[in-house]
Amino acid sequence: MRPRPRRRDADPVDGWVEQASRWTAARTTRRSFLGKLGRATVLLAAGPALAPVLAQRADARVCGQTGYASVCPTFDCDEGIWGWCWYASGCCAGGYLKKICDCCVWRYPNVQGYCDSGYGVRCLVESCGADPRVLAVPLTDLDTDDLLQTALEVARLRYPNGSPAVVLADGEDRLAWAVAMGVGGVAGGPVLPVLKRRLGSDVVDAIRALRASTVTVAGPALPAALDRELAEQGFTVERIGTAADAGELSEQVARWAKGQSTRQVTNGRPGQLLTPRAGADVARCVCVSPDGLSGEAAAVAAALAGARGYPLVVGEAAARRSGLVPYLVGPEAVAGGSEVAGASSLSGASLVEVALAVARVAYGAEQVPTDTVLLAPTDSPALLALAGLGVPLVLHQPRRLDRAVYDWLYEQVDDHGPPERVYVGAHWRELGVDGWYEVQSAFNGFETWRLVGGDGDGYPFEQPWYEQGVGAARVDIRLASRRPPASSTYWGGRAQGR
């Protein structure tokens, strides 16, 4: 990029005031009179409209900032152009330099900052340890509470080329729906919920859009009239399970699954397939208890069952009688089924911990491809619909990202590299800007946890012209004179490759 142009059309008095104020604000803390004076003149130089909010904006400065602007909601500036960046010392853990970039918008009513003349700072992007202007992993929003619409969108994503088989589940019964997810995994088709036990035209339209010829109805709760309606529409109808009890129903499904040759099952990546096991008998199952934390984790267990083509059984007795080797999900299932030969325990003290335990085995021993990650809050009403995506369901607490989840995401990137796509479930936006930053930093290697320092601290200096290209950001705190520093002194963000 070219060197930063001079602001020839700026008023010389305003330019002098702004330059002096930057010098003052850069060399004092927010607790000093000169610091507040410096920040005041930065704001006033941008125009009288900002004067009424002077005190609030001045106190809102972050470490190394020379004016005020809010933090951008993403690491990309999606509603403007990139302006200029600068560095600040003493604002990052481990001695790293903090890099701050002004996101500039034409005639935006805020300080000019380091933007070109006529542009105002819309928001700031800041990071330690990588260039923040590279957002390589997109976040796809599945933010809806509608069960059927979420299931339809998930089916479209997982089966972009259609599916010959579709499974219908009782959308009013959580455990029956979870059992049906196992049926979908074995049959190799999406699971669509039937709400209020009536076949709606949107479900029929979805089956036709998927070009399915066979419809499998799981469980007795859905009336026989539904089978007749489907047959009249020209579909081949198969019904599995007659028991009203969830445990007995899951046993019937397990017996049906045993000996079934596993069809090709997509893994959530359009056009790609999970490692085929065609012709191999089902040897494992996923087990949950009907009550307690294990029952609450039914969607988490269903995601594993659907991804790997395993039946889901309800209750430890059903697991023993099935003759399959179970994954016991949740503390109640573990307590009751630990004596089953070959059983694996996937548990924790909370729903978040149980979900992480399942994700670890899914991405590890079960070899579910790591190119797709699905995040959702524990209070999302559409968890079972999201579980149909064919990847582990990673959960976090509502309105905050658990530290254990953040650490796991970061470990995933360290071990397997950044995923190609990340899906986020309903109520995702309630995490706020900080939550968005944390998730993006975990997947793109921006290490926001290194951001330290109080408001107004730090020694800012402008980014040299030769570092204004994307991907050029120095680790070394020393300023180069006229030559660019050696490449080894630059950050190598994981989003860009090392």
**Order of strands across the sheet that contains 139-141:** 139-141, 421-424, 372-377, 393-396
pLDDT score recorded for residue 480: 46
Report d(CA 480, CA 467) in Å as an integer. Answer: 11
Report d(CA 158, CA 382) in Å as an integer. Answer: 16
pLDDT score recorded for residue 435: 80
Place of tokens 């309606």: 229
pLDDT score recorded for residue 66: 59
What tokens does 279 get? Answer: 């012709």
Report d(CA 133, CA 366) in Å as an integer. Answer: 35
pLDDT score recorded for residue 126: 83
What tokens does 360 get? Answer: 């670890």
What tokens does 198 get? Answer: 């009536």
Among 452, 451, 453, 456, which Cα is nearest to 29's? 456
214-218 and 325-329 beta bridge pairing:
unpaired
Q: How many CB atoms lie within 10 A of CB 403?
A: 10
Among 358, 308, 310, which Cα is nearest to 333's? 358
Which residues are within 8 A (CB) of 220 and not within 5 positions of it... i.e. 6 or more apart? 241, 242, 243, 244, 249
pLDDT score recorded for residue 5: 28
Assess contact for 355 and 392: CB atoms under 8 A: yes
Which residues are within 8 A (CB) of 137 and not within 5 positions of it... i.e. 6 or more apart? 418, 419, 420, 421, 422, 440, 443, 444, 495
pLDDT score recorded for residue 483: 56
pLDDT score recorded for residue 177: 95
Q: How many CB atoms lie within 10 A of CB 478?
A: 9
> How far is CA 20 from each of CA 110, 120, 266, 331, rounded to the nearest angstrom?
18, 19, 61, 63
Assess contact for 155 and 388: CB atoms under 8 A: yes
Phi, psi angles (nearest 5°) of residue 243 = -80, 140
Report d(CA 401, CA 435) in Å as an integer. Answer: 6
Sign of CA dihedral 443, 444, 447, 448: negative
Per-residue pLDDT of the chain (498 residues), as tens digits, is 222 222 223 334 333 433 443 343 333 332 233 333 333 333 333 323 332 332 233 333 567 775 677 888 777 776 667 777 878 877 888 777 788 888 888 888 988 877 888 888 888 888 886 777 777 787 888 877 889 999 999 999 999 999 999 999 999 999 999 999 999 998 889 999 999 888 888 899 999 999 999 999 998 899 999 999 999 999 999 999 889 899 999 999 999 998 775 444 444 443 343 433 333 457 899 999 999 999 999 999 999 999 999 999 999 999 999 999 999 999 999 998 878 889 999 999 999 999 999 999 999 999 999 999 999 999 998 999 999 999 999 999 998 889 999 899 989 988 998 899 999 987 777 887 778 778 888 888 777 778 877 665 676 667 777 676 666 666 665 544 445 555 556 655 444 432
